[in-house]
Structures are given as structure tokens and as C-alpha cells.
Structure 1
Amino acid sequence: MRNFLIITCVHHYAENGKYYGYGPYVREMNLWIRNKEKVTVLAPLISSQKPGKIDLAYDHPNLEFESVPAYHIQSWSARFQSLVQIPYILIRTFMEMWKSDHIHIRIPGNMGLLAMFVQVLFPSKFKTIKYAGNWDPESIQPLTYKIQRWIANSTHFTRNAKVLVYGNWPDNSPNVVPFFTASYRKEEEEPIKKISLRQKLKLVYIGAIYDGKNPEIGIYLSKILVDQGINFEFTYCGDGVMRQELEELSGEMGLSDHVSFLGNVTAAEIKEILKESHFLIFISRTEGWPKAVAEAMFWGCVPFTSAVSCVPEMVGKDGERGVLLSKDPEKLYQALLPFLNDESLFQQTSIAAMSWARGFNLEKFQTEIEKFE
């Protein structure tokens, strides 16, 4: 029986005999494993926690889960502990690769770093390697990310492999295949009609609330909108270490009537929010293929986002499908004004964004990954 091995650093949770992980990741992996005879997942399992609203379960009748420690080296105590954990993980990774027929490695990440070293020992086994971060060789990234990228790109150390990356970049080896991801099926497409911007401007942020995503920009933009007397609402969907700080900042600035924090919400709830929202405010420092941007565009929600990774390809460099910006809230406000003054501009940009995003549905994704079987 052919075995498809998944190696990832995504934290997993068990409940009622099923294994759960971060929803967008599991939704994608369920397409990868749909036609596989047997699936093995090698990843951290957090036994002390139950799956949350954002998590989904793997859907496969013959799936085995092999748990390993969720190691890191962010403190001295963790570094000492990793001296025991890393050799153990390396041995487990070698054993699972030995038993597999198709090795699927998710990078960049701690598990991916170790797996990229071990896969060198299996040059004849077919491998798909998903680089879910920013493949841009000029981008500022941690050294461990650069190491994983270098090994994946090397035809000497990584053989019989397809490395799936977001965007088209220079210096790619024959290993590399420009790729994409998807969130919705074609059958989910429907016409979108949003309320007038003049009636109420609807803004949304989707994602983890931590400093790497610059989520505070939405608060400062909201303050400008209040001062300008614009009727609006700003919805934060997601959770993270900065959530309480931003809620307090919002209260201090008198924005409680305009800004709301929903925490982690389901994919169905995200879908309904995006249908109603006019603009996504998402000025992240680094991304791969940001699902928040792609999903917003799918529902005609125009992205105001940063020019990282393949995002310029997604929104169009000339602004036909969105707006590329820095984290200056005054510049965000100035970029909003043309849309507020000319609603036809919003309609034109919204339709262009929706048309582009709907070209990358789950059916197309399934067709493309089947080429790697």
C-alpha cells in the first residue's frame, strides 16, 4: 500500500478519533490526500488542548498520526531541551521517510528544517515540498528560512522533487514550480452586491493579531476616519498576542462604536463578512500567498495591502485589483479617498479583483496537484 507522508510544524489536536489542525492548511491537505491509499502525518500533537473554531479535521479513511515534540530554540531552557528533542525528531523523520512512497514537506518551519536535511538521504523517493512563505531571494528572512530555501532550490541536495512556491522569481532551479493555493470551490461563486460606500464604509482585517501583521494600522486609520466624520465600521477577525492591546487602544481613542474584535471565527463566518466588506486592510511584513488577500478578492473586497512576495502579482502593479501601501495610516486614508469620491472606481476595482481571484478555485488546485502524483 502506497504511503503519502506529510511533515509539518503545524500544531495538531485530537478529538473523537480525528486529528485537527489550522483550517486553511488542513483544507488544502485534504485535497492532496484525497486519492491516496494511506496517509501518515508527522507533526506536533498538543494533547492538552482541543481544536478551536479555526481548526479542521483531516478527511481520510486510512490516516495515521505520528506525533513529535513541538521544539523551538527561543529561550535557553528550550535550547537545552532541544538537544534531546532534535535527535529524536531526526530519527523519527528518517524512519517515516524510509516507509513512505511520496514525501510531502511543508516549509519553512522547525519541522521542515530538519526534514530538509533528512530528505537528502532519499534522492530516489519522489518529494513535493511546499514553501508557504516568501520565496523572494531579496527579502529579509531568518537564517533558518534561507537555509531551507537554499536546500530546496539545490538540485544537488534535493533530487526527484518539485518545490511549489508563490510567484515567479529569478535564480530558480528546475526543482521550482510557481504555484498558488485556493479556498473556495467554483460552485460557491455568486454575484456580490455591497451597500453603498456613502451609506457605510465597511473595512475588515483578517489574520493573526501580532506585530508581524501590523494590525494596529487599522486602529490609527479608524481614528482618522472618525475625525473626518466618515460613517464606517472596522471588523477584526482573528486572535493573537496584540488583541488585548488593540482593544484597549481602540477604547482609549473612542473607537468602540466603530471597531469590533470578533476573535477567531469560522470559514463560513469569514465568507459572509467578506461579502459585505468593501476593503481589506492587511499591511503585513511578509507573506507567501496571503489567503486573507485572495479570499477578500474572491468576494469583491478590495485589498489595501503590502508589496511582499507575490502580492503585487495578485493585486496588479497598476492598482487594477487593489492598492499596494506601506504602514502609514495617513497614506491609507488618502488612498481611500478616490474610492469614496467615485463609487464607480470601487465597483470597477472590486469586479477586477473578484474576476482574478475566481480563476484560482479548489477545482483548479486539485487538477494541478494531481500532476504531482
Structure 2
Amino acid sequence: MTVLAYGNYVNQTKNIKPFFTASYYEKDKEPIVKRDYTGELNALFVGTLSENKRPLKVVQIVEDLRNEGVPVTLDIYGNGPLFESLNDYIKKNKLNPFIHLHGNQPLSSVTQAYKKAHFAFLLSRSEGWPKAVAEPMFWGCIPIATAVSCVPWMLTDDDNQTRGILIKELSNASEIIKEYLNRTNKLDEMSNNAANWSRQYTLDKFDYEIEKLL
């Protein structure tokens, strides 16, 4: 029996077929916008506002970066059980000027944000195929993500973080991010690598691969 699994893993048995999902078609591809990583930075969180996704931790990392002098803003897209508590935290700590809750928005609106943003956070405890990583990568937006599910396969080549920033310990996430901000050439390379990798996995290819399985 053939089993479909997201990602490609070492020592994967022959009956397990690496698979993927997608959000965009070939016709959606546009030139990647070159980012400036030396000035104002914009980060995104896209997903359900739930304990598993840890949106509060994303807010706190951005808060830490701001306190350390990093000029970063955060736009949060999504809804869920933590919406009100997040909103209360943002208000209580006077983070409103640079952290914004947008609620659920259509993919077209989120895509416009991906095209301009520098980074996208995914700090989940568990994932399947993380669209909140693959979608921003499609537009050259660098993921900052925990090493869950197939995320390490998506972001690394031979343990080198060539397409995004892996966070293995949340306690030092802001320090890891600051280290990368001092390597703007590396970030330019990451942005391009991320887009090139993600753009292999389109809805056109998804439909083709499904037809092959039927």
C-alpha cells in the first residue's frame, strides 16, 4: 500500500511517497520584490489563533526585538480562540502602533502582504504541510519557523539553513533573528532560494501528480 507523506525523509520506506499541497498556479508567478533588510522590517503571522500555533509567542518575540532596537512591525492574519487575549495583551503592553490584528482575510489580501513582508512566523507545536511557510516562500518572504513536521526539509539543504530561519529553542529566538539581520547578503540569498524552492510546488503540479496516482 502506498502512503502519501508531506516532505522527504532519510530512510523513508519504499511504500511512502513524498507529497505536497499548493496554493498558487504557474500563472500566479510574478517577479520577486527585492527587500531592504537594513531599515523598517515587516513580519507576518498567518493562521489560526490557537495554542498550537503559539501566536502570543510571536507577539512577544517581536516585542523583544522592538525593545532591543530592531524596527520591526507585525501583521497578524487569522482568527481563533486566542484573538481576544492577544488583543488584550497588545493593548495592555501598548504594542498597537506596530502590531496589528487583521482577522480572517481572503488569500488575495494575504498574498499582497506576502509580496512586501520580510519575514513570516510559524512557531507551531505540530503541522502537516505548513502553508504558512510555503505560501510566503513563494513570494520571497523568509520563514522563521520551528522545526516541526517537514519544515526542516523545506528550509534546509544538508543542515544548512538556505531558505529560512529554523528556531530550535524559542527562548533565544530574538537573538537568532538579530544574528541574521547582521547578514543582509545571506537574507537576500535566502529570499531568492525560498521562492525558487516553493515555486516548484504549484497547483498545476499538484493536479498532475494526483492524476498519476489515480
Give the TM-score of the pair, scaled to structure 2.
Answer: 0.92
Residue 172 of structure 1 deviates from its aligned partner by 4.1
CA change 1:269–1:184 in 2 (3 A) is: same
Residue 363 of structure 1 deviates from its aligned partner by 1.4
Partner of 2:176: 335
In 1, the alpha carbon distance for the partners of 2:209 and 2:35 equals 37
Are 2:134 and 1:318 aligned?
no
Aligned letter for 1:313?
Answer: W
| Aligned mate of 1:231, from 42, 63, 71 | 71
Question: Could you say what secondary structure the match of 1:280 adopts?
Answer: strand
In 1, the alpha carbon distance for the partners of 2:83 and 2:168 equals 21
In 2, the alpha carbon distance for the partners of 1:360 and 1:195 equals 23
Question: Could you say what secondary structure the match of 1:213 adopts?
Answer: coil
For each residue in 1:112-159, what CA deviation from the matched residue of structure 2 results, as whole angstroms up to 9, or x when unmatched?
xxxxxxxxxxxxxxxxxxxxxxxxxxxxxxxxxxxxxxxxxxx5xxxx
Aligned letter for 2:167?
Answer: L
Task: Say whether the 8 Å CA contact 2:8–2:153 is kept in structure 1.
Answer: no
Are 2:115 and 1:275 aligned?
yes
| Aligned mate of 2:194, from 353, 357, 361 | 353
Are 2:204 and 1:366 aligned?
no
Q: Which runs of 5+ in 2 are unaligned?
A: none
Residue 198 of structure 1 deviates from its aligned partner by 2.6
Aligned letter for 2:161?
Answer: G
For each residue in 1:42-62, what CA deviation from the matched residue of structure 2 results, as whole angstroms up to 9, or x when unmatched?
xxxxxxxxxxxxxxxxxxxxx
In 1, the alpha carbon distance for the partners of 2:131 and 2:7 equals 14
For each residue in 1:259-287, what CA deviation from the matched residue of structure 2 results, as whole angstroms up to 9, or x when unmatched?
00111110101111111111111110111
In 2, the alpha carbon distance for the partners of 1:257 and 1:327 equals 28
Partner of 1:217: 57
Aligned letter for 1:321?
Answer: R
Partner of 1:304: 144
Are 2:101 and 1:264 aligned?
no
Larger Rg: 1
C-alpha RMSD of the superposition: 1.7
Task: Say whether the 8 Å CA contact 2:35–2:188 is kept in structure 1.
Answer: no
Task: Say whether the 8 Å CA contact 1:164–1:179 is kept in structure 2.
Answer: yes
Q: Which runs of 5+ in 1 are unaligned?
A: 1-154, 156-161
CA change 1:223–1:348 in 2 (3 A) is: same
Aligned letter for 1:344?
Answer: N
CA change 1:236–1:290 in 2 (3 A) is: same
Residue 326 of structure 1 deviates from its aligned partner by 3.6
In 2, the alpha carbon distance for the partners of 1:226 and 1:218 equals 12
Partner of 1:205: 45
Residue 168 of structure 1 deviates from its aligned partner by 3.4
CA change 1:268–1:243 in 2 (3 A) is: same
CA change 1:326–1:342 in 2 (3 A) is: closer
CA change 1:179–1:219 in 2 (3 A) is: same
In 2, the alpha carbon distance for the partners of 1:198 and 1:247 equals 29
Partner of 2:185: 344
Provide the aligned length of Structure 1 versus Structure 2: 211
Task: Say whether the 8 Å CA contact 1:194–1:278 is kept in structure 2.
Answer: no
Residue 239 of structure 1 deviates from its aligned partner by 0.5
